[in-house]
A and B are shown apart, each in its own frame.
Chain A
Amino acid sequence: MSLPSIQCPSCGAQLDLQYRYSKMVVCSYCGQTSYINAGAASAAGQPILLADYGSVVSVGKRGKLKGKLFSVLGRLRFNYEDGFWDEWLLWFDGDEYTQYGLQEDEGEFILFSKKPLTSQAPVFDAVNVGTNISVNGATLFVTEKNRATINGGEGELPFQVIPGEKADYIDGISNGKPVSIEYMPGETEFNTGEALALTDFQWL
């Protein structure tokens, strides 16, 4: 079912949405971030076009991972003191909702899957790197704790953020798998991940 077409409030370009639950879209022409409410786009923040640092992934691209087809809906770029990383939003065919974020950082890919927090999120400032904490009943060894900001995004995203907003995070390892807790504006996300090699992807 095709979704109604909306226009960028900044430059008037047509914004074709694929995902019915998108709450935010970034115009690929002018970089204007728009919030989507009741089928209309309203500008949020200043236009920002992300610098192209090169990647095998791009918004709108289709691919196959472990036999399942997916589309790349959007991307968020995070900045922290030592550099940046990208998180690509993947929407697998047949899924009602998207819950997968593909983290690309220094040539390494981790497919994160959003999990509901069954216990209270650890207090960011109370967590020490190099210690074990308990999250959702499992032990998590903390490997990194840092403060990041959202540098910008592109494509469609199912939440609303503004470039420049804080996005603190705790990274760790649990049962041999990477895990991440992201302290996003308004909500704390718990993600469990799986390290992937580029050869795991088949691009269409």
Chain B
Amino acid sequence: MSSIQPQGYFQSVRQFRCTNCAGEITLINKRTNYVGCQYCGAVLDATSEAHQVITKLHAPSKFPPKSFIRLGMKAVFHGKKHQVLGRTRWQSDYKEYWSEEGETGYSDERWEYDEWVLMSEDRTYFYLIEDADGYAISTSFLPQHPNLPTGTNILNFRTARKERVIEYGDSKVLYFEGESTYQIKAGDQVKFAEYTSSGKSYIAEWRLLANSKEIKEIEFFEETSIPEWEVLAAFEDNAVIQEAKQKIGQINKRKRFWRITYWLTALAFAILLIHSFTQGREIYSQQFTVPQTNKPATEDDDPKVLATTQPIPMQAIKKIYQLELSATIPDNTDLWTGLEILNEQGQVINVMEGDFFRASGDEAWQEDGESGVEHWEEAELSKSLLYRLDQPGTYTARILALPTTAPDATVKLTLVEGSVLSRYYTIGLIIFTLIALVNSVSASMAKQVNQHIRSLS
């Protein structure tokens, strides 16, 4: 078991003001030689008292972090506490291998990424690569078979097997902030070649001597992609993540409230719908025969009174009364009927008409499987109106009809007291059930993701 002396690695060890912009700079790593000011982009000598400006890179506003990660944040990777020391924004101009429909080649590409350097409690470092595609951890690698690419081939660092270079080109520094043990220069440039093996990327990186083609230094790296939720879990203890989690917690609470409300509302609609089936009492129903004539009715014909009902007592104030007029007629006939409602004084207080028909033909809407004959049918044979009773009393109905050639035509009047509008309950039940279902499914998915993150942290 190792025993490492406790040291205040994550306490600030030096503080001073940027000699370029007077922004406050705090250093964490005692070994930091160079620091990039996060306020103005100047790179300063961190070791001397003068903190002279070594170089000026681009303005920080030009290259803000791509996500929530910031300098000084703490994170737990591989069970060890780390702190974010610095960030370098690189831009790569490179060739990327492609293969399509049997053809292969290399395309010219440009890509930007951030390289975060993190220091552990026991002063080891690793790099977290962040780009538009996600995150990867890059660690220094000691190859069994070190080599540089020849053309577009490179030997596998572990097995010496020939591998295809999938990317190669140049990367240059656009921006740097935070701490570094080596000097970052404006336009610092490295060449690189990359191949993949067993789901990991292996990279050879080499720097040239200034104004020369001679190589100054070669480094080898192994890069492993990590999903975003793993990065979020690593940074879980940071205030920004905690705040986000609190906000998410509050949002979830609100969402839970609304989810329950939606389900309860849907349940209420279901109860009302079931209840509506038992509502309504038929207080009048009578069928009337329509006399047949030889001549079809014209616009000039007046409707004839078929019958006038006995007075019907209607006493339930504020209740809904449903009045339905329906017809029974043969195919390809029509019938016009009317209804007048009269009060106790014999005054017409409401009217209703029904222009009924039943049509039948050969044109296809659906196939009759038995006969193979295609036919269509259309009909309108009933009409209903709903009334709310304002005044109790005894009312009379007068049934009218135009003469018809249809044999055995009848008209039926039905009156239901206390009718309930069940279709609104059905619509409400469907809408709220759907909303509640969508909310529940999305909440369940979010819960599964959170559980996965918690199991990893």
A29 to B271, CA, bound (A): 90
**Is B219 engaged at the interface, CB distance under 8 Å to the other chain?**
yes
Residues A128 and B215 in contact, CB atoms below 8 Å apart: yes
Residues A143 and B146 in contact, CB atoms below 8 Å apart: yes
Residues A128 and B214 in contact, CB atoms below 8 Å apart: yes
**Is B148 engaged at the interface, CB distance under 8 Å to the other chain?**
yes
**Is B380 engaged at the interface, CB distance under 8 Å to the other chain?**
no
Q: Tell me the chain A residues, 169-204 only, with Cβ under 8 Å from chain B.
A: 173, 175-178, 195, 197-204
Q: Tell me the chain A residues, 49-78 only, with Cβ under 8 Å from chain B.
A: 51-56
Given contacts A51-B47, A54-B9, A176-B143, contact A129 B4 (CB under 8 A): no
Our pick among B30, B144, B183 for the contact of A54 (Cβ within 8 Å) is B30
A149 to B147, CA, bound (A): 29
Residues B144 and A203 in contact, CB atoms below 8 Å apart: no
> What A residues does B125 contact at CB under 8 A?
106-108
Given contacts A51-B47, A199-B2, A201-B2, contact A129 B217 (CB under 8 A): yes
**Is A124 engaged at the interface, CB distance under 8 Å to the other chain?**
no
Known: A54-B31, A130-B148. 9 other contacts (CB 8 A): A83-B182, A106-B31, A106-B125, A146-B217, A177-B142, A195-B142, A198-B124, A203-B5, A204-B3
A108 to B182, CA, bound (A): 14
Q: What distance in Å separates the Cβ of B23 from its nearest Cβ neighbour in chain A?
A: 24
**Is A141 engaged at the interface, CB distance under 8 Å to the other chain?**
yes
Our pick among A81, A144, A146 for the contact of B183 (Cβ within 8 Å) is A81
A132 to B135, CA, bound (A): 35
Q: What distance in Å separates the Cβ of B142 from its nearest Cβ neighbour in chain A?
A: 6
Residue on B nearest A80 in the bound complex, by CB: B182
Residues A143 and B217 in contact, CB atoms below 8 Å apart: yes
What 3 A-B pairs have minimum CB-CB distances, sorted nearest first? A54-B30, A176-B144, A129-B215
Residue on A nearest B140 in the bound complex, by CB: A108
Given contacts A56-B5, A81-B183, contact A144 B216 (CB under 8 A): yes
> What A residues does B29 contact at CB under 8 A?
54
0/1 interface trace, chain B 215-248, chain A, CB 8 Å (1 if under): 1111100000000000000000000000000000
> What A residues does B9 contact at CB under 8 A?
54
> What B residues does A201 contact at CB under 8 A?
2, 4
> What B residues does A52 contact at CB under 8 A?
30
Residues B216 and A129 in contact, CB atoms below 8 Å apart: yes
Residues B5 and A202 in contact, CB atoms below 8 Å apart: no
> What A residues does B5 contact at CB under 8 A?
56, 203
**Is B123 engaged at the interface, CB distance under 8 Å to the other chain?**
yes
> What B residues does A100 contact at CB under 8 A?
none
> What B residues does A106 contact at CB under 8 A?
31, 125, 181-182
Our pick among B3, B140, B147 for the contact of A202 (Cβ within 8 Å) is B3
> What A residues does B33 contact at CB under 8 A?
83-84
Residue on B nearest A197 in the bound complex, by CB: B124
> What A residues does B147 contact at CB under 8 A?
141
0/1 interface trace, chain B 16-44, chain A, CB 8 Å (1 if under): 00000000000001110100000000000
**Is B13 engaged at the interface, CB distance under 8 Å to the other chain?**
yes
- Residue positions of A touching B, CB distance < 8 A: 51-56, 81-84, 106-108, 128-130, 141, 143-146, 173, 175-178, 195, 197-204
Residues A53 and B31 in contact, CB atoms below 8 Å apart: yes
Residue on B nearest A140 in the bound complex, by CB: B146
**Is B122 engaged at the interface, CB distance under 8 Å to the other chain?**
yes
**Is B1 engaged at the interface, CB distance under 8 Å to the other chain?**
yes
A76 to B143, CA, bound (A): 28
Residues A107 and B124 in contact, CB atoms below 8 Å apart: yes
Residues A198 and B215 in contact, CB atoms below 8 Å apart: no
Q: Tell me the chain B residues, 131-156 only, with Cβ under 8 Å from chain A.
A: 140, 142-148
23 contacts between A and B (CB under 8 A): A52-B30, A54-B123, A56-B7, A83-B181, A84-B33, A107-B119, A107-B123, A108-B125, A108-B140, A129-B214, A130-B206, A141-B146, A141-B147, A143-B146, A143-B218, A144-B216, A144-B218, A145-B216, A173-B146, A175-B144, A176-B143, A199-B2, A204-B3
0/1 interface trace, chain B 179-219, chain A, CB 8 Å (1 if under): 00111000000000000000000000010000000111111
> What B residues does A143 contact at CB under 8 A?
146, 217-219
> What A residues does B216 contact at CB under 8 A?
129, 144-146
Q: What distance in Å separates the Cβ of A200 from its nearest Cβ neighbour in chain B?
A: 7
Given contacts A128-B215, A129-B218, A203-B2, contact A56 B123 (CB under 8 A): yes
A178 to B144, CA, bound (A): 10
Q: Tell me the chain B residues, 37-89 only, with Cβ under 8 Å from chain A.
A: 47
Residue on A nearest B208 in the bound complex, by CB: A129
A107 to B121, CA, bound (A): 11
Q: What distance in Å separates the Cβ of A61 from its nearest Cβ neighbour in chain B?
A: 9
> What A residues does B13 contact at CB under 8 A?
54
> What B residues does A141 contact at CB under 8 A?
146-147
